[in-house]
Structure 1
């Protein structure tokens, strides 16, 4: 049997989809994970999602759906984690290309369902911003999730919407999401993380990293993103909830506004109208600022001194953990230095590694 899992926001949702497949369906069933190539600027310096034209070496699944094998490569200067993910996951990765808006995404889904005749279709979101109205002040990146929700509600096959780790993306507080969530269908455990443990050593996803950490028993408050958002890590964090996708659509004003879009530019315009912003505009502005501010060289002793200063302030804010992505940002390093930073810190202070997070030590 084949399972189709749609990673609602791309990026870390792919890793969570692999966890879901192993935990819920086991090794007997094959799986295709349909996902965006939409990495943050630490990985991809080009704002927004990549289309099939931004890659070489993609395979063909259907006329409008391409597979992403290990040998695929993004066309410079773009970057993507998908080929490396393909090398570390047993599932087949297929590219969700939003260049033709929700209508194009719907066509890809319909073709893939007709081709695979899957036993089930799951739409997976880590964090829960897929349940947003669109006007919440804490909402930062609703467009990808809203596009997939709109498309999944257009196809004429049953789609199960699953939300993992409510609140872990730092977009909507877990307390505000709780009344919107359906039953718990699974609680991720340390055993469920094993199939993706090597990927978590390098993948920059913060939400899925926290999902894995909480499945391993980590609790506290984690500071994430460039803005330093505090995210509670609780006993509820590793839970997987089922939600009615049409109820989510009735709440999500952006998803409804995207239903008939035929281009990514049109989808952006709808986001500006409904939410007051487009997250791709934010990425464009940040990319410009990053280019204008060359990063500090990775001098080990200087980095450790800056780390001490950051940790002192984090303790005062009640922070117990952070991500390597956030550390890369606050230490004024760029995405290419993230791996070197991680190696440095694990070699000097391995006792602070709460895989895949970084633990803020108690005051001396």
Structure 2
């Protein structure tokens, strides 16, 4: 893909949050933009919640979900009734209830290779001709050297899987700096590197109409990275505390914009995507990242579980 306008020639898009939890909320501006251009959309996200929501470490597989229709090994369509067998609801569940539509639940337990194969199959069966993976905050642009990275596993698997698809894909980055994993200077540097290689495809801002809809959704879902851009759109720029005061982020008007980036270019700048590429299980992807010195979100969740 050379420019984001190419997406408008497609007929049906899968737009999913690539990092789990509240990333699905950050897809809304893109979904509404595509719909305005007559493109049917399937909205979705990874079946992976933060430990404050789901005490079981790691993502959930489709086999662990109730009230879903399996489309492939990596994707199932669910609703506001979708739960795990032990009763855990996801951010995607709340989005389905708020929007009154089916939502895709994505399973990354088969690693980057397995996830990509399952996505390819699902897109064929659902007549999807473009896939947009949306990250809230910007950590998908991490090169691997940044000390603030806390979620390399989900982003790395999603990015590597998207890079292997045969159909057109791109990355959407919503909420510039709103997750606190990358500093503004790191984000500026990394966006600049991708742009220098021809990977910046376009951008779209948060409109008041979509902002009102987003506000109704974030009332139901605990997500800093997708909630803070809404506050910025209402004029609340500057320093914000997130994660119960454990981090601070500096937000600018750029936080209200979704930047669209060419998938392969982003993947080429990502150590995480390179490390997990070709993996066929979550455990293998996690092991590879940890062997390269990364602290993964899975290992963090397991340590919390052991402490509890």
Instruction: Name the TM-score, length of structure 2 as normaliser.
Output: 0.87
Listed as ranges, the gaps of 5+ residues in structure 2 are 1-10, 192-199
Q: Report Cα offsets for 1:308-338 as digits up to 9, x if no partner.
A: xxxxxxxxxxxxxxxxxxxxxxxxxxxxxxx
Larger radius of gyration: 1
Counterparts of 1:27 and 1:280, CA distance in 2: 38
The correspondence of residues 24-43 of structure 1 with structure 2, limited to 5 A, is 24-26=34-36, 28-43=38-53
Q: 1:84 aligns with which of 73, 76, 94?
A: 94
Map of 1:208 onto structure 2? 226
Shift of 1:288: 3.9
Distance 2:245 2:236 in 1: 22
3-state DSSP class of the match of 1:58? strand
Change (3 A) 1:68 1:277: same
Residue aligned with 1:41, SS: coil
Rounded to whole Å, the distance in 1 between the matches of 2:47 and 2:69 is: 15
- Does structure 1 residue 248 correspond to structure 2 residue 258? no
Is residue 26 of structure 2 the alignment partner of residue 16 of structure 1? yes
Runs of 4+ in 1 over 6 A off after TM superposition: none
How does 1:104-143 map onto structure 2 within 5 Å?
Answer: 104-143=114-153
Most deviating of 2-11 and 148-157: 2-11
Q: What is the SS of the residue equivalent to 2:188?
A: helix
Residue 139 of structure 1 and its aligned partner are, at CA, apart by 0.8
Q: Is contact 1:52-1:97 (8 Å) kept?
A: yes
Q: Which of the residues 77, 100, 104 maps onto 1:94?
A: 104
- 1:63 Cα deviation after fit: 5.8
1:30 to 1:91, Cα distance in 2 relative to 1, 3 A: farther
2:8 maps to which residue? none
Question: Structure 1: which 5+ runs fail to align?
Answer: 292-364
When the two structures are superposed, what TM-score results if normalisation uses the length of structure 1? 0.74
Of 296, 300, 305, the match for 1:278? 296
Cα distance in 2 between the residues matched to 1:191 and 1:275: 43
Q: 1:67 aligns with which of 77, 80, 97?
A: 77
- After superposition, the CA RMSD in angstroms is 2.0
CA distance in 2, matches of 1:258, 1:142: 10
Paired position in structure 1 for 2:207: 189
SS in 2 for 1:237: helix
**8 Å Cα contact 1:54-1:78 kept in structure 2:** no
From the superposition, tell whether residues 214 and 227 of structure 1 become closer, same or farther in structure 2 (CA, over 3 Å): closer
Query: Once the 2 structures are TM-superposed, how far is the Cα of residue 60 of structure 1 from its aligned partner?
Result: 2.7
Q: How far did 1:153 drift?
A: 0.5
Q: Which has the higher contact order (CA 8 A, sep 6+)?
A: 2
Aligned 8 A contact 1:102 1:260 in 2: yes
For residues 259-303 of structure 1, the C-alpha deviation after alignment (integer angstroms, 9 at most, x for no partner) is 1111111011012023432211111222344x3xxxxxxxxxxxx
User: What is the CA distance between 1:137 and its match in structure 2?
Assistant: 0.9
Measured in 1, the distance between the counterparts of 2:174 and 2:153 equals 18
